[in-house]
Structure 1
C-alpha cells in the first residue's frame, strides 16, 4: 500500500485526518528488542510458545493459537494484546487490500479489548494505540478522527506510566509529523471540523523530539529509525536522514515486518536528493 500523503486541499482534509497514522506507526510493530526466547512450558498455547512463533516469522500460526485462547477466555488480556500485535503485523505484510483492512480491524478490536481489561499496563496500552491507529484507516472521517484522538490519549497515558517508552514516543513522533505535513489551510479547516488534540497541538519540534527519544530509548528497533529518518527527510535534513536509514539497514531483523520496513527504507534512500 502506498502510504505517502498526497497534497489534499479543501474539504478533503477529512481524508487526510483518516490517514494520520498511515505510515506504519504505531504502530508498530515492536517496542523493545525481545530477549532470547527460552521455552519454559510444553503448553502449545502458552505465551512463550506463541512469542517464539511470532518472532520466528510465523505470526499467522501465533495468531491462530491466540484465537483459541480467547475463545476459551475472552478476558485473557495476555492473549488479547498479543493477538493485536500479530494481527497488526499480518496486516502490514498482507498484499491484498481487503485482507489488509480486515487484519487492521481485528487488531484494533483486540487492542481495545486488552486496554479495557488492563488500563494501567504501558505495553498493553501501546499495542492498543498502535492497532487502533491502523484501524483508523478503515473507517470514514468521523470514526477515524475519534480513533486518532483515542490513539493520542492512549500514548500520552503510556508516557504517564513510562516516560521513556520508545513505542509511545514513536507514535507521537509520527502523529506530529503527519499533521505538520498537511498544508496550513488543511490544518485550519480540520480544526474547524474536528476538535482533536493532534490538530491543535502538533509541531515539527515535537515530532523530532519524540522520534529522538524513541531511538535513544531503543536504538535497535528498525521502525523507530525508519520513522525518524522520514521526519528528517521531510525537513530537508537529508544527510541526517540518510545516516539514520543506513543505521537501520545495518540492524538485524527481529519482528516479522522488519524486512518490509527495510524495503521501505531502501526506496526512500533512493529518492533522497
Structure 2
C-alpha cells in the first residue's frame, strides 16, 4: 500500500523545518480577489512584461491565490505541482519573504530556498526565464540581508547581474528584469563607488537610469518600479534628487493596485511619503 502524498504546506518548510513555520497573513482584507475561472481575463494586466503564459488546471487556482494575497497556499500548491508550478512557488515565496516575513532569519532562509530551486532549474534549462528572474531576485534580496559589500565579495553580485542580463537578452520586454538590473547598478555604485563599480562589476549610473526608464516604459503602472527608481536616484545622486524621488513615490502612492503584491507596494509608497 502506497503512503499518502505529503501535505503541500509541509513542502514549504522541508529545508528549514525549525525556522520557517506559519507565514504571516496579508494585513489587508479589502484588496482585489481572484478565482481560477476568470483569472485569464486579468492575466495581461497582472503580468505585464513578464511573458508568462496564463496557467491551466490546478495552477490557475494557485495563481489566483497568489494574486489574492494567500502567498502560503499559493507556494504550497506550486511546489505540489513541480516542476510546472515552480514559477508560482518561487514568486509567492520571494514576494512573501520580501514584504511580510518579520523574522530576518526566516526571510533569509526563504530567499535561499528560492535561489536554490531556481538554480536547480537553470542547471536543466539555462534559458528558463522565470528561474533566471527569481534566482536574481532571491539572491539580490539575500545579499541585502547580509550586506551588499559582503555579497559582492562572495560573488553573488556577478550571479545576479549575469542572470538578469541573460534574461533581458532572451526576453527584451521583461519589465521587472530591467528594473532589477537597474537597481543592481545603483546598489553597487552606492556601496563601492562609481569608479570601482565600473571597473570591477561593469555598472554605470547612466545605465541604471536607462534601465529604470525602460522598465517603466514597459510597465508604467508598476508601483514597485517607481519605488525602486526613486531609491536608485538617491543612491546614485544623493539628496540632490530628492524632489524627483518624492514625485516617483507620489506616483506610486496614487496607483490603483491590481493585486495583493501591488497593494503592498502602494502602501509602502504611502508610508515612505509619511516618513
User: Structure 2 length as normaliser, TM-score?
Assistant: 0.70
Q: How far apart, CA to CA, are the structure 2 residues paired with 1:119 and 1:233?
A: 34
Q: Which has the higher contact order (CA 8 A, sep 6+)?
A: 1
Q: CA distance change for structure 1 residues 198 and 150 in 2, over 3 Å: closer, same or farther? A: farther
Query: 1:205 matched to which residue of 2?
Result: 206
197-206 or 139-148, which moves further after superposition?
Answer: 139-148
**Alpha carbons of 1:52 and 1:87: their partners in 2 closer, same or farther (altered >3 Å)?**
same
CA distance 1:135–1:113, change in 2 (3 Å): farther
- From 187, 191, 195, the equivalent of 1:178 is 187
Return the match for 1:82 from 77, 88, 100.
Answer: 88
CA RMSD of aligned residues (A): 3.0
How far apart in 2 are the matches of 1:145 and 1:47? 36
Structure 1 residues 237 and 39: CA distance shift in structure 2, 3 A: closer
Q: Distance in 2 between matches of 1:240 and 1:176?
A: 19
Q: Which of 51-60 and 143-152 deviates more? A: 143-152
Q: Distance in 2 between matches of 1:97 and 1:173?
A: 25
Instruction: Calculate the TM-score normalised by the size of structure 1.
Output: 0.70
Q: Distance in 1 between matches of 2:46 and 2:199?
A: 28
Per-residue deviation, 1:53:
0.7
Counterpart check, 1:68 vs 2:80: yes
Q: Which stretches in structure 1 are left out of the alignment for 5+ residues?
A: 1-30, 71-75, 192-196
Is the 2:143–2:151 contact (alpha carbons within 8 Å) kept by the matching residues of 1? no
**CA distance in structure 2 between the partners assigned to 1:65 and 1:90 by the alignment:** 15
Counterpart of 2:34? Answer: none
Distance (whole Å) between structure 2 residues aligned to residue 144 and residue 105 of structure 1: 18
Aligned equivalent of 2:137, options 130, 133, 136: 130
Matched residue of 1:206: which SS? Answer: helix
Of stretches 252-261 and 112-121 in structure 1, the one that deviates more from structure 2 is: 252-261
Alpha-carbon shift at residue 40 of structure 1 (Å): 5.5
The offset of 1:255, in angstroms, is 4.8
- Pairs within 5 Å for 1:1-273: 33-34=46-47, 41=57, 46-70=58-82, 76=83, 78-92=84-98, 93-137=100-144, 141=150, 145-182=154-191, 184=193, 188=196, 199-234=200-235, 235=237, 236-271=240-275
Which string of whole-angstrom CA distances, capped at 9 and with x for unpartnered residues, describes residues 40-85 of structure 1?
A: 64xxxx2211111100110100111222233xxxxx1x22222111
Equivalent pair of 1:136/1:147 in contact (CA under 8 Å): yes
Find runs of 4+ consecutive structure 1 residues off by over 6 angstroms: none
Aligned pair in 2 of structure 1 residues 238, 218: CA closer, same or farther (>3 Å)?
A: same
When residues 221 and 114 of structure 1 are mapped into structure 2, their CA distance, relative to the original with a 3 A threshold, is farther
Secondary structure, aligned partner of 1:182: helix
Classify 1:38/1:87 alpha carbon distance in 2 versus 1 (closer, same or farther; 3 Å): closer
Give 1:136 deviation, angstroms: 3.3
Q: Extract unaligned runs of 5+ from structure 2.
A: 1-43
